[in-house]
Structure 1
Amino acid sequence: VLKDLLDQDIESVGDPTQCHAVAIDGRAPKYDGGIVTRLDCVPFSVVVNKDAERFYDEGEDVWPKRYAIWGRLVAAEKDQVAYAIIDSRSIDLFMPSVFPPIQAETIEGLGQQLGLNTNALRATIDGFNAGCQEGEFKPTELDGLATSGVTPAKTNWARPIVEPPFYAYELRPGVTFTYLGLKVDETAQVQSADGAIENLWAAGEIMAGSILGQGYLAGFGMTIGTVFGRLAGKGAAEYVR
């Protein structure tokens, strides 16, 4: 719908390089997998790429403020894939995926199942574990439990991955909506270069570019759908009277 309207010279707004993209299970269907395919294990894991190397701070901030960037991060890695590695202490700390985790008694065994270089994965996990510091682990808040001497650093929830069995999820990017959207005014009426379209209003994700620039906070999509849905409905109802 968005492409069709833009092809009809509806005015666009927003950044075409930005999107709401979450990390989903690699076994999810190509379309419409839903929230049950989203993986929320990242803050309590070590995330590696196909070279078995970490590439971003898994504990940068609370998950509602960071889950929507991980799809984009994964998309930037080789073959658009990454792997979250956790141990038995963390398996119950997040909303489970609809798919069961990959499981092994050793890091090497996990690496074999994932098709990773087992020596490289072992070195990454050992290096991460060596950088973990003493402190109180608080999974429901920013605990400042950070690594030292590890690049990239993990700035919260950094505790060694040492308790078998070990688990992994394959991460793939899942796009919910783009930040390029239809331009609307304060009444949710869609705009063209010649002004407002007489009989067209928009709400929610299709006009997200009118509101969002960068970043995302959990629930914001529902918020713009609710607020602009009411405005759009009011405008459309008044038009047909």
Structure 2
Amino acid sequence: GNTKYTRDIRYAHDSKDRYTTGAYPSDEFLKEIIDFTKGKTDVDLARIVVEKSYEIPSFLEKVGVKLQGALKGTLHLSRTNLFLLGGGKAMLNSYYKKAGELGVDIIYESALEDLVISGGEFEEALISVRGKRISVKGKAIVIASGGFEANIEWLKRYWGNAAENFIVRGSRYNDGMGLRILLDKGAEPVGDPKDMHAMAVDARSPKYDGGMVTRVDAIPFGIVVNKHGKRFYDEGEDLWSKRYAIWGKLIAEQPDQIAFVIYDSKSQGIFIPPAYPPYSANTIKDLAEILGIDPQSLEKTVAEYNSSIECRRFDPSGLDACRTKGIDPPKSHWARPIDTPPFYAYRLRPGITFTYMGVRVDRSGRVLMRGGGRFKNIFAAGEIMMGNILSRGYLAGLGLTIGTVFGWISGEGAGNV
């Protein structure tokens, strides 16, 4: 799954602790979820996630996960998120080790093919293991198989051929089979099938499995233009940790699903660099030619942007007083003239992490059925049910929070059947 590509997790805490630089109380956490989804969230489930997130650090330590001490300069996350020492892969290794100690059998190189369900009750799972089909029976099942972000054909139903230009920054195995089976068996869907957690990634990234290092964090400190050299969205709308996950969809809506972030030498070194070096030139005209953009169009866009700036106090660590006036789209923060060579750029593609469409669940993680009722012993956790809480937008580290909390809840529910 995608957990191995993660690095931090958001959690509520009422005071500064070993992993963060300040308090992040539950009421603030919940308000942020309601705000960025514009109220389109199951507030009851969101509140459960927030309140139970207090327990995350102690749980991680209990199962042997190593945690990083408080960090600064991490996309404005030092107060709200704890960082995993060794990232998500190290966390997974700790989980596997603990599961083995508890006697849990783990089957590799396997895929879910179907579920046998009778009268709303799960009876057995049909699984392909290294080409051989086996049946696994159980008292209950938890489906935690992610979304359909790596299934380009499924994405094309909603995005058309534009989906061919998406880069899958996570697992190539998240093809949505578990979700497809549940929907076919009568599960109630939740979430817009076209919405997704997707960010701007370097266009040179591999098609699959690029992970965190392909993300381009230069956007707040420059401008973003499409293939015609035109800006199309506010690059400084809010803190980057609250906006980075919308840029993939924005780019997906542009011609040929390509965009370019342009900045100058003043911004070099302010953001975390991706794996690839930027393109550079001593003039905007030369940079445009390297990128394949009409030079006159890009020069005009940069000139209009530069002349619109009102900057009293530039502060990359928070919402500052540098903004534009009189242009559309505006830039609300971190607006500085792009006037100091050399000039830099990255080509950007939509980098999809996960899809928001999933199955609706109740407070116990039990999957609900279309037309009313619920499955007796089928539960869900992680991306496959994340659409109950995430309808749009994102907060950095929240996906892992939801997966962790509903992993507990659904696991406990299944164990008590």
TM range (shorter): over 0.9
Q: Work out whether 1:12 is the aligned partner of 2:179.
A: no
Deviations 1:52-108 (A, max 9, x none): 011111011110111111111111111111100011111211111111111112111
- In structure 1, what is the Cα distance between the partners aligned to 2:208 and 2:346? 19
Q: Work out whether 1:234 is the aligned partner of 2:412.
A: yes
Q: How many residues are treated as equivalent by the alignment? A: 239
Q: CA RMSD in A?
A: 1.4
Moved over 6 A (4+): none
Question: In the alignment, what sits opposite 2:164?
Answer: none
- In structure 2, what is the Cα distance between the partners aligned to 1:112 and 1:31? 29
- In structure 1, what is the Cα distance between the partners aligned to 2:399 and 2:219? 22
Distance change >3 Å, CA 7–CA 33, structure 1 → 2: farther
Question: In the alignment, what sits opposite 1:139?
Answer: 316
- In structure 2, what is the Cα distance between the partners aligned to 1:78 and 1:178? 22
Alignment of 1:13-28 (within 5 A): 13-28=190-205
CA contact (8 A) 2:311 2:323 kept: no
Question: In the alignment, what sits opposite 1:111?
Answer: 288
Alignment of 1:60-139 (within 5 A): 60-139=237-316
- In structure 2, what is the Cα distance between the partners aligned to 1:10 and 1:134? 52
- Name structure 1 gaps, 5 residues minimum: none
Q: Computing the radius of gyration over CA atoms, which structure comes out larger, 1 or 2?
A: 2
| Higher RCO structure, 1 or 2 (CA under 8 Å, sep 6+) | 1
Structure 1 residue 35: Cα displacement: 1.4
Residue type at the aligned position of 2:375: I
Structure 1 residue 166: Cα displacement: 1.0
Deviations 1:32-69 (A, max 9, x none): 22111111111001100010011111011110111111
- In structure 2, what is the Cα distance between the partners aligned to 1:214 and 1:119? 36
The match for 1:33 among 210, 213, 216 is: 210
Q: Work out whether 1:152 is the aligned partner of 2:329.
A: yes
TM-score normalised to the size of structure 1?
0.94
Distance change >3 Å, CA 33–CA 7, structure 1 → 2: farther
Question: In the alignment, what sits opposite 2:111?
Answer: none
Residue type at the aligned position of 1:33: G
- In structure 2, what is the Cα distance between the partners aligned to 1:87 and 1:148? 20
Deviations 1:194-228 (A, max 9, x none): 63323322111110111122222111101111110
CA contact (8 A) 2:311 2:321 kept: no
Q: Work out whether 1:220 is the aligned partner of 2:398.
A: yes
1:59 is paired with a residue whose SS is coil
Residue type at the aligned position of 1:234: E
CA contact (8 A) 2:263 2:344 kept: yes
Q: Work out whether 1:50 is the aligned partner of 2:230.
A: no
- In structure 2, what is the Cα distance between the partners aligned to 1:210 and 1:149? 39
Q: Work out whether 1:184 is the aligned partner of 2:361.
A: yes
Question: In the alignment, what sits opposite 2:380?
Answer: 202
Percentage identity across paired residues of the two chains: 53
- In structure 1, what is the Cα distance between the partners aligned to 2:375 and 2:277? 48
- In structure 1, what is the Cα distance between the partners aligned to 2:308 and 2:250? 23
Residue type at the aligned position of 1:225: G
Residue type at the aligned position of 1:161: I
